[in-house]
Structure 1
Amino acid sequence: MHHQPSKMLLLVGLLLCLTPAHALTTFPPKFQVGELDEDVVVKCNTAVPQVTWTLNGELEPMAELFAEGRTLTILGLDLPATGNYSCWAGSVLLDTTYVVVRSTPPAGKEEGMNISCQAESYSGSFRCSWRVPRFSVFRARLTRSNGSFGEWVHVAGRHGRFSASFTDPSFCPFAEELHPLQLHLEGLSDNSFLNFTIHFFIRDIVQPDPPQKLTVRQQGNQLYLAWAPPASWPLPKSYFALLYRLQYELPNGTQADKDLEGVEETSLPAGTRRVRISCRDPYASPTWSPWSAWQDVVAAQQRGPVAR
C-alpha cells in the first residue's frame, strides 16, 4: 500500500507491552469490528490531546492510516490492517483497541453454525457445543425467559470446537414456555469477528439421563424388571412423566423393544438373557435418553439392584 509520510505515525517504545495479533486466548478488553474495505475510526480513551499509535509492534504497519488528535482512521480495512492498535503519550501506554473484520457465516449456516444444545431435565440448565473452524475464542450470553440478559460466558476452544454450560435462573419447570430462550454467540479469530443468535425452547432440547437402579426379581416362573427414573429428572412423577423403552435379548440373539408409560416395573419374556432401558418425555422432546448399560438377567438375580 502507498503510505503518506505526513499522515503516518511511526512505532514508539514499550513494544513488550503489546499483545501480538496471533496470541488471542480470550476476548480483548476492548475490540472494534469493521466492515471489509470500509474506513474504521479508532478512538484513544484519554484526555491527552495528541497521541501516537502502534499496530502489532510493527515499525511500518501494512495499512493506510490517518491520525488526528486522539483518533486514528484506518482507510479501507483489510486483513493486514487488523490487530492490536495502541495509543501512547511518549512511552506511556494510554489505551488499546483490537480491530477485526466482520465475518459472514457460510451459506445456510446463519442459524446454528452446527450448534447443538442439550438439557438433561427441566432445571433450566443446559449445555451447548458448536464447531467453527479458524476461530480461537468465543463468548456467549443468554437472554433469559423473563427478558433479562445473562452475563457473558467466555469460552475457550480446541481445534475449532467449543462447549459451554448455561443456566436460566428465572426458568420455572411448572410453567408453560411461552417464549424461546435466545443464545447470543460472538467469536474472534486473529483477524475476524463472527456473531449469531439461536432460539429454542428447553422442552425441545431435553434428553434425560438413562433410567437407574435396574432390578430383576423372580416370582414363581415369571421374571420381573423394576427401575427408577434418572436421578436428575424432576419430581413429582405424576407431573413429570416419562415414557420408557425396554429392549431385551432372547437366547437366540433376537432383540425386541417394548414401550411403557406410567409404570416402573414389567414382566420379562421367559428365557430373557439381558435387558436395557431408555426413556424420554412423552409430551415434549422426542429425544430418547442414552440406553442404560446392558443388565445380565442371571447375574442381576444374584446381586440385586445395580445403580448406574
Structure 2
Amino acid sequence: MLVLVGLVLCLAPADALTTFPPKFQVGNLNGNMVVKCNTSERQVTWTQNGETEPMVELVAKERTLTILGLDLPATGNYSCWAGTVLLDATYVVVSSTRKEKMNISCQAESYHGSFHCSWAGPPSAVFRARLTRSNGSLGEWVPAAGSSGHFSASFMDPSFCPFAEELHPLQLELEGLSDTSYHNFSYQFFIRDIVRPDPPQNLTVQQRGEQLHLAWAPPASWSLPKSYFALLYRLQYELPNGTQVDKYVEGTEETQLRECARRARISCQDPFTNPAWSPWSAWQGLGAARQCRLRAR
C-alpha cells in the first residue's frame, strides 16, 4: 500500500497555476536546486503542493531545502512554515529544453506609443510580459490575459515620441510558467512597423447632380495633427452589376463618383511607412442606386 501511495504522489501534477506566482525558481532537469525560506525563523517545516511528506529526494537544513535530481514530479509549490504559520513560498519549475518558436503579433492603432500583443502558448501556462527600451530600462511586468492557449497583453511606452525617428527597436520579453516548465521568449519591433489604423468613420454620401459626393473622417484613434499624420484612403464601391471598384484618395477626406454605385466602404493606411491597411468600415448603402438603375435603362 505504501508503494502505491508513493507512486500516486510522484505522478500527481503540481497545482494548476491561475496567476504568475510572486516567487519562483527555474532549475535544470535532473540537477539539484536549493530553495531558501525568506524568514528569520531558524527551524521551519516544508511542504510541496500541500503535502507534508513529499515523495521526492529532499534535504532540509534550517531555512534551506535542497531538491536532489529535479524532475517533473518534484516541481510545484514549496512552502515553509512555523507551525501553522506560512512564512514563504517558492514555485519550482524545470527549464524548457525544447527550442520553441513563439508566434507573437503586435499591433498599434496610431503613434501614441500604446500597442497590443498576442501569442499562443501552452494551455496550462500563465504569462507575463515587459518592455526593454532602447536606453536599457525595463518596464514593469504586465500580466497576460489568456484562455485555451491564446494570450494577450496591452502596453504603453511613455518615452515614445511620435514626431521623432525610431532609431532603436523595442524588445518585448515574455515569461511563462506551466505546471512543470518555464518558457521565455523575446520579440523586437519598431512601432512604425506594427501600426494598423482603425477604420475611417462617418462615411456619408450625397447626390449632387449627376455625381455622388462621398465624405468621411479619419479614425478617432488616429494621431494628430492630420497635416503631419496623413492617411491614404482606399475607397471601394460596388456597381449595380456587382463589380467592385477601388479608388485611392490622399490628402483629402472627400471624393466624387461619376458612375453609379450601390454601396461603398473605406479603409486607410499610413502612406509613409508600409503598415497594414485598416479593417474595412461597414458597407454604406448609397441612396442613388435606384436612380442609377433607372438611368441604365
Q: TM-score range by the shorter chain?
A: 0.7 to 0.9
Instruction: Between 196-205 and 52-61, report the one with greater CA deviation.
Output: 52-61
Map of 2:167 onto structure 1: 178
Counterpart CA distance in 2 for 1:65 and 1:176 is 55
Map of 1:200 onto structure 2: 189
Task: From the superposition, tell whether residues 300 and 96 of structure 1 become closer, same or farther in structure 2 (CA, over 3 Å).
Answer: farther
Q: How does 1:120-131 map to 2 (within 5 A)?
A: 120-131=109-120
Q: The residue matched to 1:298 in structure 2 has which SS?
A: coil
Instruction: Write the deviation string for residues 171-202 of structure 1: whole angstroms up to 9, x where unpaired.
Output: 11001111111111111111111111111111
Counterpart CA distance in 1 for 2:115 and 2:221 is 12
Counterpart CA distance in 2 for 1:275 and 1:125 is 31
Map of 1:47 onto structure 2: 40
Counterpart CA distance in 2 for 1:235 and 1:90 is 62
Instruction: Between 246-255 and 223-232, report the one with greater CA deviation.
Output: 223-232
Q: How does 1:127-142 map to 2 (within 5 A)?
A: 127-142=116-131
Counterpart CA distance in 2 for 1:62 and 1:162 is 34
Shift of 1:239: 1.0
Shift of 1:59: 4.3
Map of 2:270 onto structure 1: 281
Q: How does 1:1-308 map to 2 (within 5 A)?
A: 21-104=14-97, 106-107=99-100, 109=101, 113-298=102-287
* Contact 2:15-2:49 within 8 A present in 1 as well: no
* Contact 1:145-1:170 within 8 A present in 2 as well: no
Q: What letter is aligned with 1:21?
A: A
* Contact 2:236-2:245 within 8 A present in 1 as well: yes
Identity over the aligned pairs, expressed in percent? 76
Shift of 1:217: 2.0
Counterpart CA distance in 2 for 1:146 and 1:228 is 37
Task: From the superposition, tell whether residues 59 and 92 of structure 1 become closer, same or farther in structure 2 (CA, over 3 Å).
Answer: closer
* Contact 2:210-2:258 within 8 A present in 1 as well: no
Q: The residue matched to 1:93 in structure 2 has which SS?
A: strand
Instruction: Between 25-34 and 58-67, report the one with greater CA deviation.
Output: 58-67
Consecutive unaligned residues of structure 2, counting only runs of 5 or more, are 1-12, 291-297
Number of residue pairs aligned between Structure 1 and Structure 2: 278
Shift of 1:285: 3.3
Q: What letter is aligned with 1:119?
A: A
Task: From the superposition, tell whether residues 174 and 300 of structure 1 become closer, same or farther in structure 2 (CA, over 3 Å).
Answer: farther
RMSD: 2.0
Q: TM-score, normalised by structure 2?
A: 0.87
* Contact 1:104-1:194 within 8 A present in 2 as well: no
Q: What letter is aligned with 2:80?
A: C
Shift of 1:92: 3.4
Shift of 1:88: 2.5
Shift of 1:60: 3.5
Instruction: Write the deviation string for residues 135-190 of structure 1: whole angstroms up to 9, x where unpaired.
Output: 43111112235542221111242111111111011111001111111111111111
Q: TM-score, normalised by structure 1?
A: 0.85
Counterpart CA distance in 2 for 1:186 and 1:126 is 19
Task: From the superposition, tell whether residues 90 and 22 of structure 1 become closer, same or farther in structure 2 (CA, over 3 Å).
Answer: closer
Shift of 1:58: 2.4
Instruction: Write the deviation string for residues 236-280 of structure 1: whole angstroms up to 9, x where unpaired.
Output: 122111111111110111111122221222221421111111000
